[in-house]
């Protein structure tokens, strides 16, 4: 109902996930051992203007850029995978609040994502949205599931809302429309 909380045990599904988890742990240990003013933001799917996404990183921007430039899009799996999306402007606001509250929140972990209210199926919902923006059905080819792909990932953002007063303000539809206009 709320998504995956910060207390959920970390289980890395890829070398990329391992590198993110390692960074998390370094920041927590530096705060705990040395008293440094660090906190961890576990970010979900961040997108927005000035993102030059590629197939493996920045898939929202990659799909938009591919649509505008009439490049091929490959959907791995069944296209029903669900992610929560967060516009970069909302992420920047979270960082600003984090810096303002670093003394009290040093050593804390926060999920920073779109949460359950800002989810999107990567193709069954995003494909029709792109078609609306482009004015035609966007073609895609299909590939097998990739190792490490998660079918559903939604962050529980209640902790950051309660402790920092933050929540997303830009819906995926609005943010993707802005991204599409910028790419065009």
Show which residues are catalytic.
Answer: 16
**SS3 sequence of the chain:** CCCECCCCCCCCCCHHHHHHHHHHHHHHHHHHHHCCCCCEEEECEEECCCCCCCCCCCHHHHHHHHHHCCCCCEEECCCCCEEEEEEHHHHHHHHHHHHHCHHHHCCCEEEECCCHHHEEECCCCHHHHHHHHHCCCCCCEEECCCCCCCCEECECCHHHHHHHCCCCCCCHHHHHHHHHHHHC
């Amino acid at each position: 109902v709320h998504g995956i909380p910060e207390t959920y045990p970390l289980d890395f599904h890829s070398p990329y996930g391992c590198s993110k988890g390692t960074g998390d742990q370094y920041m927590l240990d530096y705060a705990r051992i040395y008293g440094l003013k660090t906190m961890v933001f576990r970010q979900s799917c961040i997108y927005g203007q000035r993102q030059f996404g590629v197939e493996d990183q920045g898939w929202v921007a990659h799909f938009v850029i591919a649509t505008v430039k009439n490049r091929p899009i490959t959907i791995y799996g069944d296209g029903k995978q669900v992610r929560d999306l967060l516009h970069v402007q909302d992420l920047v606001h979270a960082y600003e609040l984090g810096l303002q509250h670093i003394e009290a929140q040093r050593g804390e972990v926060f999920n920073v994502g779109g949460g359950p209210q800002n989810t999107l199926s990567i193709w069954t919902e995003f494909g029709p949205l792109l078609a609306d923006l482009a004015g035609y059905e966007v073609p895609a080819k299909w590939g097998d599931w990739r190792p490490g792909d998660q079918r559903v990932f939604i962050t529980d953002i209640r902790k950051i809302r309660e402790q920092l007063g933050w929540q997303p303000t830009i819906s995926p539809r609005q943010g993707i429309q802005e991204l599409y206009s910028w790419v065009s």
